[in-house]
């Protein structure tokens, strides 16, 4: 019987993120247009690409570091995994509030399912220390909040 490792679930997040970015470009009005119309008129495809490439690389490096060193290094990829979970909730909230489809919503449940596996098969049995998990929850949530607060700040700057 094959065992799914925590590293495999983290790589699942990378695959889900790749599909998520494609969704944000190809579905609905697209994330770039949504950003231009809602928050940041100067937002561009180049900014979108640069931001997503940075997140992708930071996550991949975090997974590799965790796979090599283990232990406390789980916080790095787990924080980014939780960032994706909270980002998915943002897409859901945005869809509800604006009553318009938020690009990224379709793939968000993949993040939630993967986190469910992490909690069920790694946190509950004690393979991830609760302290590490809680630190990752806080860091991942903060990353999401900072990202959206920056978008809100750009929006306010554009209005003044």
Please report the pLDDT score of residue 134 as a whole number: 98
Please report the pLDDT score of residue 157 as a whole number: 65
- What does the block give as tokens for 134? 């809680």
Stretch 134-156: mean pLDDT: 85
Asked if the model's pLDDT at residue 151 lies above 90, the reply is no
Please report the pLDDT score of residue 158 as a whole number: 60
CB 136 within 8 A of CB 75: yes
Stretch 88-100: mean pLDDT: 86
CB 122 within 8 A of CB 77: no
**Is residue 11 packed enough to be buried (19+ CB in 10 Å), middle (13-18) or exposed (0-12)?**
middle
CA distances from 31 to 60, 101, 158 (A): 23, 10, 18
Which contacts (CB < 8 Å, 24+ apart) does range 13-19 have? 13/59, 13/77, 13/80, 13/81, 13/84, 13/111, 13/114, 14/56, 14/59, 14/60, 14/63, 16/84, 16/107, 16/110, 16/111, 16/114, 17/55, 17/56, 17/59, 17/84, 18/56, 19/107, 19/110
Q: How confident is the model at residue 154 (pLDDT cuts 50, 70, 90)?
A: low
Q: How far apart are CA 132 and CA 104, in angstroms?
A: 28
130: Cβ contacts below 8 Å, ≥ 6 apart: 123
Asked if the model's pLDDT at residue 113 lies above 90, the reply is yes
Asked if the model's pLDDT at residue 159 lies above 70, the reply is no
Q: Where are the domains of the chain?
A: 6-159
Q: How far apart are CA 35 and CA 23, in angstroms?
A: 15
Stretch 141-149: mean pLDDT: 89
Q: Which of 15-19, 32-36, 79-83 has the lowest mean pLDDT?
A: 32-36
Residue percentage of the chain with pLDDT more than 70: 94
Q: For residues 58 and 30, which has the higher predicted lDDT (pLDDT)?
A: 58
């Amino acid at each position: 019987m094959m065992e799914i490792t925590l590293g495999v679930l983290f790589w699942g997040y990378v695959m889900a993120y790749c599909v998520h970015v494609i969704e944000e470009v190809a579905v609905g009005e697209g994330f770039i247009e949504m950003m231009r119309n809602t928050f940041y008129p100067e937002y561009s495809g180049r900014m979108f690409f640069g931001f997503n490439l940075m997140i992708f690389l930071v996550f991949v490096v975090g997974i590799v570091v965790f796979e090599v060193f283990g232990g406390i290094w789980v916080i790095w990829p787990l924080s980014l995994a939780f960032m994706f979970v909270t980002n998915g909730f943002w897409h859901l909230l945005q869809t509800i509030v604006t009553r318009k489809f938020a690009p990224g919503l379709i793939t968000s449940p993949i993040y939630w399912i993967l986190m469910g596996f992490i909690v069920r098969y790694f946190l509950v049995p004690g393979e991830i220390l609760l302290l590490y998990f809680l630190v990752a929850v806080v860091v991942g949530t903060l990353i999401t909040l900072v990202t959206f607060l920056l978008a809100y700040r750009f929006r306010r700057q554009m209005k003044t």
